[in-house]
A = this chain, B = another copy of it.
Amino acid sequence: MVDVVLSLDQLHALAVNVLTSNGLGAPHAQAMAKMLVAGQRDDCQSHGVWRLIGCVKTLRSGKLNLDAKPSVQDISPALVKVDAQYGFSPLAFELGSQMLVEKAKRTGIAALAINNCFHFSALWPEIEVLTDQGISALAMVPSHSCVAPAGGTKPLFGTNPIAFGWPRPDGMPFVFDMATSRIARGDIELHQRSGSKIPNDWAIDEDGQPTDDPERALKGAMLTFGGYKGSALSAMVELLAGPLIGDMLSRKSLEFDDGAGVAPCHGELIIAFNPSLFGGTDFVENSHRAEALFAGIVDQGARLPSQRRFEARKRSVEHGVALPAKLHADLLNLIET
């Protein structure tokens, strides 16, 4: 089968159609579609429109609040909390991030805590919303328990991504978004879907042994990246985006799911930094310092994170995106008529 090429607008309309026809309120559908199309546009397949399949499963599960009205609470000069009311996260982020930026501009550092959200997206689109406004940001979320701590054999942590961004005056921001597991869970699921093996250092099976079988890996436990150091960072994500903000650990989130296999429900923490307040009067010099770091990376032939995404974005904006025909057909089949 040949690929189906769609413009970004066409893909957005398709995603909105899939979501609203399955009962999701329009503002949520718009915010979700924006996020998923951004993933597809940047050739970030594991967070692209393929996720609509899981979104629809979540919508049909009855667990999600289809018309949730996120409620924004102004806690302190540096802290905003949003209760997502058991809806999807992107709309809650859109609403809360406005106040987050205002606070960071005034106080230098500020935090946005989102509670009770079903989280189903990459973090870098959120980070880029902030870097676009001159704000540096650090974000983290737990997920469903599927990763063993270093030295252990049983799932405890989620894939627990950490994302960070730094605004650059000219061109694209410095952005990374990485699971603290060896690999994103979506990558194992894509191998499962295509029937291919995985490298045997990604995960262990139910008996705690290395495995190259995506099925057994998904039943066993994934590993953290970088051994005990990645494991420590994963624990930090659990604590800061869980108990700190009054929300669930990945293990509790999985219990809450109760076998439904839908998007994980949990909290999210985003910390925003305002370089112009932090750095005092030396904003231009500090900006040069940051650019010197990036030059020091690329001048020795190493890559900045997200470069492949940005290149894909340029192509997609110009030429649209090519969906495998089977995926396109699967998405059309999700539309309720």
> Which residues of A approach B to under 8 Å, CB–CB?
75-79, 81, 106-111, 113, 136, 138, 148-154, 156, 162, 164, 166, 174, 176, 178, 225-233, 235-236, 238-240, 242-246, 248-249, 251-252, 271, 273, 275, 277-280, 282, 285-287, 289-290, 292-293, 296-297, 300-303, 305
Check if A293 sits within 8 Å of B136, measured CB to CB: no
A300 to B150, CA, bound (A): 10
A271 to chain B, nearest CB (A): 7
Known: A238-B293, A271-B271, A303-B151. A279 touches B245 (CB 8 A): yes
- Is there an interface contact between A279 and B243, defined as CB atoms closer than 8 Å? yes
Selected A-B contacts with CB under 8 Å, 30 pairs? A75-B277, A76-B77, A76-B108, A78-B110, A79-B107, A79-B108, A113-B278, A148-B300, A150-B302, A151-B302, A151-B303, A176-B236, A178-B232, A226-B227, A229-B230, A233-B233, A235-B297, A242-B289, A242-B290, A242-B293, A243-B286, A243-B290, A244-B273, A244-B278, A246-B280, A246-B286, A251-B293, A251-B296, A252-B289, A252-B292
Rounded to whole angstroms, the CA-CA distance of A239 and B290 in the bound complex is 6
A79-B292 Cα distance, complex, nearest whole Å: 26
Given contacts A232-B176, A245-B279, contact A273 B108 (CB under 8 A): no
Mostly, the A contact residues are mixed
Q: Once the chains bind, are A240 and B76 in contact (CB under 8 Å)?
A: no
Residues of B within 8 A of A154 (CB): 300
Of B81, B108, B152, B244, the residue contacting A301 (CB under 8 A) is B152
With the chains together, A150 CA to B238 CA distance in Å? Answer: 27
Nearest CB of chain B from residue A262's CB, rounded to whole Å:
22
With A275-B243, A287-B243 already in contact, the answer to whether A251 and B302 are too (CB < 8 A) is no
